[in-house]
Structure 1
Amino acid sequence: MSSTPSFQRELLGARRAFSIAQLELRSLRLALAPKLFNPNQPRVPAGSPNGGQWVGEGGNDGEARVETVNWPARRSGGIRTIRGRTYETSPTQETLLAATEAHATALVREVQRRDPNWKPRPNLYEGVEGEILAHQATAMQATARLRELRAQEPVCRPLGETSPLSRGGSSDGIYTVPTSEFREMLITVTPGSQIISSPVGYRGQWYLQPDGSIFGIRWSERYGVTLDVIRSNNPLVPNGYKVHQK
């Protein structure tokens, strides 16, 4: 049975978007390559199926995945351990690392819900800025695959439906949760949220949700990456609520 003209146009559009994503990823790799080459990086032993290939520092088989970093929960300054190396970070870098990782993870999960065997291609990177670019590149790959599957991108959950805010009121307006729960919360609120201007002096970034709610992701010297409820449309989650990490 032949395809309809409409379907063919959509298919061509999806292929074009995927090709653009590939070109952007290649440009990113070319820009980072001079900084990333390490002649001492280990290789797969000869005689193996992948003998001679570079081995990533985070694994021994080059398996594609969304790389995560160690999140500092209680530090006097921004410090991250990325691929075995320690870096000092700025508040802006901390919030970008958290937001881009959450967004990429949400998109990859959405693709794998429909195509369980799909994995993003590994990204070469080094340092904090490289980690941020790698998350953005992974998000682009996942977005292109969703278009190929003719599927919608994930939609963020309202603040009032997001754990731990869904549990109801807090006596002091502050929630302190494990890092794993905090990360999952960011994964549910970032997809589809729009970056908007934040006040001068705010050590992070504000995001606007489709329902009009606004939250901020910022760096706290005591608690690390923190989520602020700037404007809420849910009476159980008043403005000013904060979510810290243990």
Structure 2
Amino acid sequence: MNRIRLINSIIQKANFKKYLEIGTRSGTSLYTISCKNKIAIDPNFIIPKMEKLKRKVFDIKNNRKTHYFEMTSDDFFEQKKEFLKNFGTVEISLVDGMHTYHQALKDVLNILPFMDEKSIIVMHDCFPVSEPASTAYNSEEFFTKEKHPEWTGEWNGDTWKSILYLLKKYPNDLEVFVIDTDYGLGIIQKKHNLPMNFELDTEFFRQFISYTFQDLKKNPQELINLKSKDIIPSLLNRFHY
């Protein structure tokens, strides 16, 4: 099961109405997600204006109420607080923007204040397929990854470290695990809906920068709470409200 099928299955089970997506780009996932109200965030959309209009006119059920924000996710959460307040609880999100530890983590931390205990985040690229695919953006290894014998053209980045951070930082407040499918689908939910501080802890963040793909490969169950895709039915069963 890939991220789109999982998200659609959750939306159907939970009857969710509000979806947020970071990393929309061409709309491949956005337009295949069946949800009434959508937020699409990307600094560089490549969706033609006529495509947006066509979707708004002819796909009334799923895309009439789609809000496009062509900006970075950081700018969105900084500048669109009033919009988010009016939008209400974000029920389900896809984080699939820049595949870096820092940015993926910031995206999750920015979404969490707008969630309740029923909401869920799905984060893509949390279990890299190979060492070159796991290279950190702008690192020396990133710029030489094509020379690696295991390079296949797939790049997942070091997004997985954001899962490690969340597991270690919020063991009593968040449920966090990765499903071993579609390059690793990170699942993040609140265990309760109490007020919390989700500011980035810089010192805590630095603890995990030096972790490598080899560390992950040795013990993915411990580092990212990796679970078989067999867990998906039990995950979906949570959403019988």
Could you tell me the TM-score, scaled by structure 1's length? Answer: 0.26
**Which has the larger share of helix?**
2
Could you tell me the TM-score, scaled by structure 2's length? Answer: 0.26
Whose Rg is larger? 1
